[in-house]
Structure 1
Amino acid sequence: MSAALQRAALYVGGFLGPFGGGVVISMLPEIGADTGVSTGDAALTITAYLGPFALAMLVSGTLGARWGRERTVRTAYAVYALAALASALAPTMTLLLGTRVLQGVANAFTTPLLLAALAVITPKDQLGRALGLFGAMQAAGQTIAPLVGGLAAEVGWRWAFVVLAAAAAVLAVIGLPSGIGGPPDAAPARLRDALRPRVLRIGLVALLGWGALGGLSFLLAFRAQDFFGLTPAQRGALLTGFGIAGILSARRVGALVDRIGATATVLIGSLAGAALVVVVGLAPMLWLAAIAWFVAGVASQCVLVGVNAAVLGGEGRNRGGAVSVVQAFRFGGGAAAPMALTPLYAAAPVASFVLPALLLAIVAPVAMPRDTAMPRDTAMPRDTAMPRDDPA
């Protein structure tokens, strides 16, 4: 298999987490009707995926470094494909939730290892742009997911999981670029090297950046049905705006990180994103909500690319484990959002948008640590962007 194809798979693999988590968003009413539960209960399919996904990522980066990245990533993709097929065949909500748990755990052993591998092959002064491209692929997954889910719901929602299984199977065959996967590290990676105070602070920002911004797409889907009366396909099309904006802006956001630093970029994204979430929740016109959601996709990339650059560009050992912890916080926010905000939406729809916006605007600027200093004219050679013997 060509090295170029394997290198491209690093970026393509970035879409699977957001795609797998979000594919159900625009078809929750149809899933609920088919399995005999309410739309609110069907929203647990989001949590069933993202909750285990987030919990497993607390340790998956460290364990993957011990077991060997290549073997871990291939195995995880294969398990994901089988679990997705099981989701397509699940006759009850209980079984569907079980298969979603398996998908989430399997995906936890791909995303952080792909990010760590990307850091190995990227000069540090270009890391922001590389992470921007990875972020664009994640945004593409988020963009495709509601659209595929909405279109699938028009025919049969189970077909969306067939698409998931096919994508994971292809990525399992491709694997990682030669020399990146490698055997397990000689010195075992340690979890305590990843659970540093600085990493935990960045993780808190990532939690808010996803749970209080991009992770609110399910709320917009509810509002699109209840307030604007959109069909599943129309809901899916509306939600894709966020991801399209992320695709278009992620590379530029990465360049912004390289120019002004991760912290400043995150602060721009969190404050702008908070304001836009309020607009999405209050807009009386569909076109205004759609525009605000589109621009919020740019703000989300500022936060997410910024936090990845902050942790991968920082000091310390086991950076793969560190980025795994940050990603765990990120998707933990996405998993908690439906549980925390669906009841609030039922009681007070406007408050369900305003509350996470306030948390994002207040907590993220306080929690985000300052950038570690690095001379602008310092360019690390490609083969030393991240030491090969680093257990990350």
Structure 2
Amino acid sequence: MSGESRATRAALYAGGFIGPFGGGMVTVLIPELRDAFDVSSSTASLALTSYLVPFAVLQLVSGTLGERFGRRRATRVAFVVYALASLWAAAAGGFGVFLVARAVQGAANAFTTPLVLAALADATEDRDLGRAMGTFAAVQTAGVVGAPLVGGLAGALDYRLAFVVAALAALVLAWKSAPPGEARAATPGGAAAVRPRLRDALTSRTRWTAGAAFLAFFAITGLGVVVALRAGDAFGLGPTARGLLLAAFGAAGVVAGRPAGDLTDRRGAVAVAVCGALACVVLLPLLGLTGGALGLGLVWLATGVASALLWAGLNVLTVGAAPANRGGAVSVIGAFKFAGNALAPVCWLALYDAGSELAFAGAGAVCLALAAVVVRAGGASVSRA
């Protein structure tokens, strides 16, 4: 691989960082936001939902729009808007204004991750696709690592610092990680290029993979807020310690991401993703049964490894779901993925209030359904009927 190709891939990988970072950095800041704005814990959790809902909804169309208007232009504008919204959130004097700023952050990021992932797939040969997707998942998981860690460190001083850091990161990415080229589907025989359409993205595999992505984020990634609450309620951990504990999940994903991608190239996307889902069926209920903070951290670490397997496989299914509109398919699947993450705090916190074991056992049961949906996605068509 040439130096230019390596630089291109490195920039694309970097572009995958900001989405999970922006969504997850407030996971450990719920108590600080509650106190700063004088609201309840459940109301403070809207800081997660207000980001993730527009992030998810706009991804239904953002990939297709980005393909039409140009990946480079769309991502650069989105990163700049995200930076401005982050500074707005840091300066917000009321909770309503803060939630609006979070919503703008989410809307901006809807135009980054899908286009960056589609560009990475275009730049990768099929034999190396698993490794590239596993590495991308590892970079996104690095965002999961960095989010609670930065959030926890900022919370110990001033929660606003987390948003200032996010703004600086977005400005760097606007400069460095814009996709280098545009994708256009071609007519048979290599005739004139055609403009991607949303309906071209809606293949059978897109629909089933979207369902799997929804369940994965709903049951696994979205459970982080409950893990953080249990760490505080049951074991008395402060914001920095909670951030470090949650970072174990992401750290495991960062380390395991590339090997999981290599395994996907050898064993197949479906087999590796199902392995990750079934491991979570066992691991997630254990999170509600551990008797100490160390045990909770170790189980969450193992869950991060299982999640790396799951996403290495799912990302390969995602970028191959609709060849006629790859960016559109990636963004549609991303919409369902982050819709699951947005819904998770509301559902799991309600179960947690009824009994912490119920939330973790319920998440484990969802992962059993997830494994079945992954199998169905692997056998689905990639052509629109």
Same fold (TM over 0.5): yes
Deviation (angstroms), 1:176 = 2.7
Q: Which residue of 1 aligns with 2:168?
A: 166
Deviations along 1:32-85, whole A, 9 cap, x unmatched? 100111122111111111111111111111110001000001000010000001
- Say whether 1:251 aligns with 2:253: no
Deviation (angstroms), 1:184 = 11
- Say whether 1:335 aligns with 2:329: no
Deviation (angstroms), 1:346 = 1.2
Helix, strand or coil at the partner of 1:369: helix
Tell me if structure 2 keeps the 8 A contact 1:206–1:303.
Answer: no
Q: Which residue of 1 aligns with 2:189?
A: none
Read off the aligned partner of 2:355 and give its amino acid letter.
A
Q: Which residue of 1 aligns with 2:29?
A: 27
CA distance in 1, matches of 2:222, 2:117: 21
- Say whether 1:106 aligns with 2:108: yes
Q: How many residues align?
A: 371
Matches within 5 A, 1:201-350: 201-314=208-321, 316-350=323-357
Q: Structure 1 175/291 Cα, relative in aligned 2: closer, same or farther at 3 Å?
A: closer
Q: Which residue of 2 aligns with 1:383?
A: none
Deviations along 1:156-214, whole A, 9 cap, x unmatched? 00000000000001111124354x14799952211111122221111111111111012
Moved more, 105-114 or 9-18: 9-18
Read off the aligned partner of 1:334 and give its amino acid letter.
N
CA distance in 1, matches of 2:184, 2:129: 24
CA distance in 2, matches of 1:112, 1:234: 32
CA distance in 2, matches of 1:154, 1:227: 20
Moved more, 83-92 or 310-319: 310-319
Deviation (angstroms), 1:367 = 4.9
Read off the aligned partner of 1:53 and give its amino acid letter.
F
Moved more, 158-167 or 324-333: 324-333
Helix, strand or coil at the partner of 1:368: helix
- Say whether 1:149 aligns with 2:156: no
Moved more, 356-365 or 317-326: 356-365
CA distance in 2, matches of 1:10, 1:250: 16
Moved more, 25-34 or 338-347: 338-347
Helix, strand or coil at the partner of 2:291: coil
CA distance in 2, matches of 1:253, 1:15: 18
Deviation (angstroms), 1:316 = 3.7
Deviation (angstroms), 1:24 = 0.4
The unaligned stretches of length 5 or more in structure 1 are 374-392
Read off the aligned partner of 1:111 and give its amino acid letter.
T
Deviation (angstroms), 1:327 = 1.3
Deviation (angstroms), 1:282 = 1.5
Q: Which residue of 1 aligns with 2:60?
A: 58
Read off the aligned partner of 1:192 and give its amino acid letter.
R
Q: Structure 1 17/315 Cα, relative in aligned 2: closer, same or farther at 3 Å?
A: closer
Tell me if structure 2 keeps the 8 A contact 1:6–1:174.
Answer: no
Q: Which residue of 1 aligns with 2:383?
A: none
CA distance in 2, matches of 1:128, 1:26: 32
Helix, strand or coil at the partner of 1:116: helix
Deviation (angstroms), 1:359 = 1.2
The unaligned stretches of length 5 or more in structure 2 are 187-192, 381-385
RMSD value over aligned CA atoms?
A: 1.8
Identity of aligned residues (%): 46
Deviation (angstroms), 1:116 = 0.5
CA distance in 2, matches of 1:183, 1:254: 27
CA distance in 1, matches of 2:239, 2:222: 18
Deviations along 1:261-313, whole A, 9 cap, x unmatched? 11111110111012111111221122211111001001111222211101213
CA distance in 2, matches of 1:175, 1:213: 28
Q: Which residue of 2 aligns with 1:369?
A: 376
Helix, strand or coil at the partner of 1:317: helix
CA distance in 2, matches of 1:164, 1:184: 34
Helix, strand or coil at the partner of 2:77: helix
TM-score with structure 2 setting the length: 0.92
Helix, strand or coil at the partner of 1:282: coil
Deviation (angstroms), 1:112 = 0.3
Q: Which residue of 2 aligns with 1:74?
A: 76
Helix, strand or coil at the partner of 2:17: helix
Helix, strand or coil at the partner of 2:324: coil
- Say whether 1:47 aligns with 2:54: no
CA distance in 2, matches of 1:335, 1:177: 27
Q: Structure 1 126/3 Cα, relative in aligned 2: closer, same or farther at 3 Å?
A: closer
Q: Structure 1 170/366 Cα, relative in aligned 2: closer, same or farther at 3 Å?
A: closer
CA distance in 1, matches of 2:13, 2:249: 19
Deviations along 1:332-381, whole A, 9 cap, x unmatched? 110000122212211222111111210111343245336479xxxxxxxx
Helix, strand or coil at the partner of 1:227: helix
Tell me if structure 2 keeps the 8 A contact 1:124–1:313.
Answer: no
Tell me if structure 2 keeps the 8 A contact 1:70–1:182.
Answer: no
Q: 1:85 aligns with which of 84, 87, 90?
A: 87
